[in-house]
């Protein structure tokens, strides 16, 4: 893969589109007790009604901006401000005020569209008339009976676009994750970048190679005592503005995996969706899903813990990178061939921001 233009680009990051679905929380995190989470610079109060519907309100009371997340749920769908007791319904309209019967008609707080899908609670912070549930990114493996797995949330002390860069170029595994999933063939192998609409795909195949430790263990989980060469694949798919699903796996070399027959291998999906918190912090929701040995909770836990360790190495690098960017605000990034996918990601984000009239670099 060759990038025709190897020009430098500013390291000043862009903002985040608002007309998009972002994960606010795992579904199990949101309950009757209100919780707070900041998404795209917007503090949110999240809770469930008595019927179990997830609600996202601005986390600031109309009266004196006290955080509603510090309050409590009341009635069928209400939340009560912890400071002076004003109660709002799930639409954000005041339904009760202390010491007076007449309700001020301006007493409202913003309420945001919410969709529950793929084990996540998604929130739309932009124009509510454009909040089409069909625009929720496809992460069906998260809730399919044909896949098993689990994941976690990483609070990453960096701009969300740095996480996207990290996931779109997996050659860093050779250096950052050398003891688990990295190997020399990552940077030696060719790759193909395609883009269409709001997606970018980077595909890489490594044929007739030794399996790195992580994948050798997984092959032996399915094929006890496995030895020999494998064909390995990484197919990274980005959906704007912040979801990346990575089709990964290995199969016995020469058994047809590049042509679609993966029966002699193990296949996983690394599900990633990153919700910006501020210009320098983000919530990184991830899971590892597999389509083999679905009954084994042991394998689910081992995979989750193994990926946790790998992503912990990424977290340390991303933190250091953000600190270096902060210390060198005028420095320009330079692009290599391996950055082709990430460059297209940034173009799509720029396109979304331009459509919203918000294409301004974050200082």
Note whether residue 231 is domain-resident: yes
Residue tagged 């990575």 (tokens) = 246
CA separation for the pair 75, 42 (Å, rounded): 26
Q: Could you give phi then psi for residue 295, rounded to 5 degrees?
A: -80, -15
Region of poorest pLDDT, from 48-52, 63-67, 260-264, 336-340: 336-340
Note whether residue 361 is domain-resident: no
Note whether residue 363 is domain-resident: no
One domain for residues 246 and 119: no
Beta bridge partners of 261: none
Note whether residue 212 is domain-resident: yes
DSSP assignment letter at 147: -
Note whether residue 285 is domain-resident: yes
Contacts of 17 (CB under 8 A, 6+ apart): 126, 240, 241, 349, 352, 353, 356, 358
One domain for residues 311 and 231: yes
Question: What pLDDT, in 10s, does the model give residues 90-114?
Answer: 999 999 998 888 899 999 999 999 9
pLDDT cut 90: percent of the chain above it: 70
Tell me the mean pLDDT in the region 184-194: 71
Q: How many domains does the chain have?
A: 2
One domain for residues 91 and 155: no
Note whether residue 132 is domain-resident: no
Task: With cut-offs at 50, 70 and 90, classify the pLDDT of residue 81.
Answer: very high
One domain for residues 166 and 85: no
Write the burial class of residue 135 (CB in 10 Å: 0-12 exposed, 13-18 middle, 19+ buried).
middle
- pLDDT of 182 reads 43
One domain for residues 236 and 154: yes
One domain for residues 192 and 271: yes
CA separation for the pair 55, 237 (Å, rounded): 30
Contacts of 65 (CB under 8 A, 6+ apart): none
Residue range(s) defining the domain that contains residue 61: 21-125
Domain boundary residue among 125, 148, 174?
Answer: 125
CATH number at residue 280: 3.90.380.10
Task: With cut-offs at 50, 70 and 90, classify the pLDDT of residue 183.
Answer: very low
Note whether residue 5 is domain-resident: no
Question: What pLDDT, in 10s, does the model give residues 197-231?
Answer: 899 999 989 999 999 888 999 999 999 999 999 99
One domain for residues 257 and 279: yes
One domain for residues 220 and 162: yes
Tell me the mean pLDDT in the region 69-92: 97
């Amino acid at each position: 893969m060759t990038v025709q233009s190897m020009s430098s680009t500013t390291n000043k990051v862009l903002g985040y589109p608002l007309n998009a679905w972002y994960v606010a929380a795992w579904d199990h995190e949101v309950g009757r007790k209100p919780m707070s989470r900041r998404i795209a610079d917007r503090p949110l109060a999240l809770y469930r009604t008595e019927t179990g519907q997830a609600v996202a309100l601005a986390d600031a009371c109309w009266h004196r901006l006290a955080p509603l997340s510090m309050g409590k749920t009341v009635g069928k769908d209400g939340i009560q401000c912890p400071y002076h007791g004003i109660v709002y319904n799930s639409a954000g309209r005041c339904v009760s005020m202390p010491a007076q019967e007449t309700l001020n008609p301006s007493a409202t707080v913003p309420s945001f569209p919410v969709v529950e899908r793929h084990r996540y609670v998604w929130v739309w912070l932009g124009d509510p008339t454009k909040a089409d549930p069909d625009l929720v990114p496809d992460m069906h493996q998260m809730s399919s009976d044909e896949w098993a797995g689990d994941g976690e949330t990483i609070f990453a002390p960096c701009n969300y676009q740095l996480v996207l860069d990290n996931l779109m170029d997996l050659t860093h595994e050779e250096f950052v994750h050398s003891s688990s999933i990295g190997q020399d063939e990552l940077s030696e192998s060719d790759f193909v970048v395609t883009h269409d609409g709001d997606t970018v795909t980077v595909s890489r195949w490594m044929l007739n190679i030794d399996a790195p430790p992580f994948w050798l263990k997984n092959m032996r989980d399915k094929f006890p005592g496995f030895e020999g060469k494998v064909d390995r694949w990484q197919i990274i798919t980005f959906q704007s503005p912040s979801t990346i699903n990575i089709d990964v796996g290995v199969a016995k070399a020469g058994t047809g995996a590049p042509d679609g027959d993966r029966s002699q291998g193990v296949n996983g999906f690394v599900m990633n969706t990153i919700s910006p918190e501020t210009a320098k912090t983000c919530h990184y929701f991830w899971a590892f899903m597999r389509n083999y040995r679905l009954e084994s909770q042991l394998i689910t836990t081992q995979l989750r813990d193994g990926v946790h360790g790998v992503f912990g190495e990424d977290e340390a690098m991303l933190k250091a990178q953000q600190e270096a960017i902060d210390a060198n605000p005028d420095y320009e990034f330079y692009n290599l061939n391996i950055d082709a996918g990430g460059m297209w990601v940034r173009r799509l984000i720029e396109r979304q921001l331009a459509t919203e009239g918000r294409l301004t670099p974050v200082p």
